[in-house]
Amino acid sequence: MKKVLIVRLSSMGDIIFHIPLANIFKENGYEVGWVVSEKGYEILKNNPCLDKVYFVPAKKWKKRGLNILNLIEYLKILFEIRKEKYDVVIDCQKMFKSLIWTIFSGGKRRLITTPCKEFSNLGANEIIKNVKIDFNKHVLYYDMEYAKYLGLNTDNIKFTLPETSAEVKANVDELLKDLDKTKPMAIIAPATTREMKHWDVGNWQVVVENLKNDCSLVFTGAEENRELLVEVGADKGLNLCGKTNLESLIEVFKRADLVISPDS
């Protein structure tokens, strides 16, 4: 069995968009590993598309600053990676933070596509050139260039998520117990981490007004998004602000008929 390692540390949306690539390798008989940091770990942990997940505590390292403990922990993870003797390592991040994992991974073939950032091409020994950017094409199709380069069939685009535990399902049952189940469940998720992605509050209010009578509205967000949710009209539905972690949010989304959000 051949082994492939995907290096994509963040962010959550981009990690989700790389899951089909992992599934392509899995379906073609590869053992699949992934190097990821905090933002996407819960999505990949116990995901059926992977055999191994290497967790990089990037936030902790950044908080510590220049510290020998960071280096020790980095080398420990790197040792675990090198022990697997990966046949192929793919740098899907194409930045310096992925370069330091790719170049020392011990992979026989280390792949990257152009264009690259922050000298990340130095971590690869095979560069896939002339990958044309087409903004009418979803980003996940660019990742398929790696699989095509290796001669794999890329027709089956499949997303997978970790199986929800019985405990999480029970917690979500409790969260949604007062929801009117006779109407479609519509989730409003207005928060995002980048200012340029935010939608005007007035627009959200129009959406909420148009849905409130025909749908059971559920508003989701982190604790720091509470003020935003109040502004867009969370009082007109069930406000789950700060009540869900990523695992329970996945289960809430699974039960919804509609999710509206400005961010992938």
What pLDDT does 194 receive? Answer: 83
Domain 3-149 class in CATH: alpha beta
What distance in Å separates the CA atoms of residue 143 and residue 145, rounded to the nearest whole number?
A: 5
Low pLDDT (below 50) residues in the chain = none
Instruction: Look up the pTM and report it.
Output: 0.87
Same topology, domains 3-149 and 166-260? Answer is: yes
**Where is 172: in which H helix or E strand?**
helix 166-175
Question: pLDDT digits over 170-182, tens only?
Answer: 999 999 999 999 9
Contacts of 248 (CB under 8 A, 6+ apart): 168, 171, 172, 175
Distance CA 72, CA 7 (A): 20
Q: Where are the domains of the chain?
A: 3-149, 166-260
Asked if residues 79 and 69 have their Cβ atoms less than 8 Å apart, the reply is no
> CATH fold of 166-260, please?
Rossmann fold (3.40.50)
Distance between CA atoms of residues 45 and 251, nearest Å? 15
How does pLDDT run across 127-147, given as a tens digit for each residue? 998 787 778 888 888 889 999
